[in-house]
Amino acid sequence: MQDNVRPESMERITTPALAEAFISEQIGALRAQIGGDKVLLALSGGVDSSVVAALLIRAVGKQLVCVHVNHGLLRKGEPEQVIRVFRDEMDANLIYVDAVDRFLDKLAGVADPEQKRKIIGKEFIDVFAEEAARLDGIRFLAQGTIYPDILESGPVKSHHNVGGLPEELNFELVEPIKLLFKDEVRVVGKALGLPDSMVYRQPFPGPGLGVRCTGAITRDRLEALRESDAILREEFEKNGLAGKVWQYFTIVPDYKSTGVIDGKRSFDWPVVIRAVNTRDAMTAEIEEIPYPLLHHITRRITSEVRGVNRVLYDLTPKPTGTIEWE
């Protein structure tokens, strides 16, 4: 496991010049490892898999086959961005799999959070393995493993992160960023020309919006979650909070309350806003959001999102609340 240990002499990649040096070195190493063979990558659109994709596109071009699985639990605009950046701009060999119905059908009526996570994880591996089986001549599997994954878990991030290694797939691994820390991955991503919205993306759990649409997921409540999350992100970006707050998102719990909309009684969902700062996700503090902005976001969500009549602000630090609601 020697090559899983970061050498003391390895300089921290903090500048574009150091990133360029890393990129050239990796391109050489990847070409030497891969030769003329094909490489498969599960491309979620998160920073790690995106950086690995961009590196491999530079190194071996169309020998890389990226598979982007849309499980229906991604944020608004994410699948479109993956297609635009990788297929349209980088000319990657990208297979887009619309598995939305398949995931949502499997999740229908399932309220237990652990059960939901298991279904999402298993289904993801099944979909990915099916796509892999359709392809001929794949020898390698690329992964966005980074150094903290090695330090924390030994082998590979798979259980906590949808998009992890489908273990039954018997490929040789390609892990070009496995000795990098997250901040270095971002510097490299920037040097590779990835958009800031990908490079500086806030953490997003593998099961995605599934853990924020609490209880049994329904399509209409998931839609309310996706739309309210998009409004929150837009307003945080416009108001300079996107770089200041570590993680911010909405939750739509599985219950309704009475309200009044256009002079008529309504019985609709609340949207909960969660915005936290943390160093390591083990504990978290509440970021103070200016009241006028909270009022503005509340007005937008209640007028623009169907099926919502209230907005709540979660003031709970971790502990006692976890960052996610499930």
- Where along the sequence are the contacts to ligand XMP (CB under 6 A)? 117, 160-161, 203, 205-207, 211, 247, 281, 318, 322-324
Residue among 257 and 322 whose Cβ is closer to ligand XMP: 322
CA nearest to 294, candidates 271, 268, 260, 262? 271
CB of 179 to ligand XMP, least distance (A): 21
Kindly tell me the burial class for residue 163, based on how many C-beta atoms sit within 10 Å of its own C-beta (0-12, 13-18, 19 or more). buried
CA nearest to 138, candidates 93, 179, 177? 93
Asked if residue 246 lies in contact with residue 285, where contact means CB atoms within 8 angstroms, the answer is no
CB of 91 to ligand XMP, least distance (A): 29
Across the beta sheet with 138-142, the strand order is 93-98, 64-70, 38-42, 138-142, 172-174
Residue among 58 and 71 whose Cβ is closer to ligand XMP: 71
Report the distance separating Cα 178 and Cα 173, nearest Å.
11
Residue among 113 and 195 whose Cβ is closer to ligand XMP: 113
CB of 250 to ligand XMP, least distance (A): 13
Residue among 1 and 282 whose Cβ is closer to ligand XMP: 282
Residue among 179 and 323 whose Cβ is closer to ligand XMP: 323
Report the distance separating Cα 127 and Cα 199, nearest Å.
26
Cis ω for the linkage preceding 320 (within 30 of 0): yes
Report the distance separating Cα 2 and Cα 75, nearest Å.
38
Residue among 166 and 302 whose Cβ is closer to ligand XMP: 166
Report the distance separating Cα 25 and Cα 295, nearest Å.
50
Residue among 197 and 202 whose Cβ is closer to ligand XMP: 202
CB of 325 to ligand XMP, least distance (A): 8
Report the distance separating Cα 89 and Cα 96, nearest Å.
15
Residue among 160 and 256 whose Cβ is closer to ligand XMP: 160
Asked if residue 265 lies in contact with residue 258, where contact means CB atoms within 8 angstroms, the answer is yes
Cis ω for the linkage preceding 155 (within 30 of 0): no
CB of 164 to ligand XMP, least distance (A): 9
CB of 240 to ligand XMP, least distance (A): 22
Strands (E), 79-126: 93-98
Element (H, E) at 258: strand 257-261
CB of 204 to ligand XMP, least distance (A): 7
Asked if residue 51 lies in contact with residue 189, where contact means CB atoms within 8 angstroms, the answer is yes
Nearest-5° Cα angle at 296, 290 to 297: 90
CB of 202 to ligand XMP, least distance (A): 8
